Amino acid sequence: MTEGPTFLHLPARMSKPRTRGITHILDKGLPLAATEDLLAQVAHLIDIVKIGWGIGYIDPILAQRVSAYAEAGVPVCLGGTLTEIVAHQDQIEPFRDWAQALGVTHLEVSNGLQALTDDRKLGLIKDLAADFVVLAETGSKDGSYPTKPEEWVEEMARDLDAGAQFVVAEGRESGTVGLYHADQAVHEEIVSEILTQIPQDRIIFEAPVKAQQSWFIKTLGAEVNLGNIEPSSVLSLESLRLGLRADTAAVGPPA
């Protein structure tokens, strides 16, 4: 990969492996050639890829794609809804064996379907954290829970104590539930409450929409962890982080 220019003064970015400024992408079933093309261009900017929507279970070339990601230094995470369905059917052990055989290193544990008790979710985190990096998600798929900002904090704190490496604040790929109003505006009171008790570098804020990404970068800085990023948006997100787009550029009118 060719080194880029260095003559501009831009915000400092931690290099991989990053503990902050994480870009977590949502892979909705890329073909192998598209996966390889993506990695050739932006592997250095991707920190975690989530194979979402249960697609990993039915993707006949998942093993090759996981291998391609691994060779490029990008860990693969399976999505939380798949984990919930596996738990509901009491198939955790074959799920664990299958994921490890594939080379998957990260798993998401969520309760977006509201089919798990709090104790069951915490038990899954503790169990799976022995073999995987666990990302624990807070928020439902329909936006029905948590209903109060303090409940987001309480669940995230429990999940971290149970062994999650990161907590994920739900926004879905639509950016219209959880952290967001139906018009995609940020629930700022939820974000503020979360940050009163949860360290920022342990939170991944799902932010699929440019305006949401811009809000987080302007509010929390270039090194905020952002998730559910479209593969096609990795470069454009990085340009937002670095202030190279009008949305985040640190440029004012002439004096």
Mean pLDDT of 113-117: 90
pLDDT at position 250, please? 86
Residues 6+ apart with CB under 8 A from 62: 51, 56, 102
Please report, rounded to a whole number, the percentage of residues in the chain having pLDDT higher than 90: 87
pLDDT at position 107, please? 98
pLDDT by residue (tens digit) across 219-253?
999 999 999 999 999 999 999 999 999 999 988 67
Look up the pTM and report it. 0.95
pLDDT at position 251, please? 81
197 inside domain:
yes
Domain carrying residue 38: 23-241
* pLDDT tops 90 at residue 205: yes
Mean pLDDT of 120-132: 98
Provide the domain count of the chain.
Answer: 1
pLDDT at position 140, please? 81
pLDDT by residue (tens digit) across 20-34?
999 999 999 999 999
9 inside domain:
no
pLDDT confidence band for 173 (50 / 70 / 90): confident
Mean pLDDT of 66-75: 98
68 inside domain:
yes
pLDDT confidence band for 108 (50 / 70 / 90): very high
97 inside domain:
yes
Query: And the tokens for 61?
Result: 């070339």
Q: Are 200 and 224 in contact (CB under 8 A)?
A: yes
Q: Are 74 and 46 in contact (CB under 8 A)?
A: yes
Please provide the DSSP assignment of 149-170 as one string. HHHHHHHHHHHHHHT-SEEEE-
Mean pLDDT of 190-212: 97
* pLDDT tops 80 at residue 210: yes
* pLDDT tops 80 at residue 78: yes
In the block, which residue shows the tokens 């954290």? 129
* pLDDT tops 80 at residue 206: yes
CATH classification at residue 209: 3.20.20.70
Mean pLDDT of 108-114: 93
Partner residues linked to 109 by β-bridges: 136
127 inside domain:
yes
Task: Compute the mean pLDDT over every residue in the chain, rounded to the nearest whole number.
Answer: 95
61 inside domain:
yes
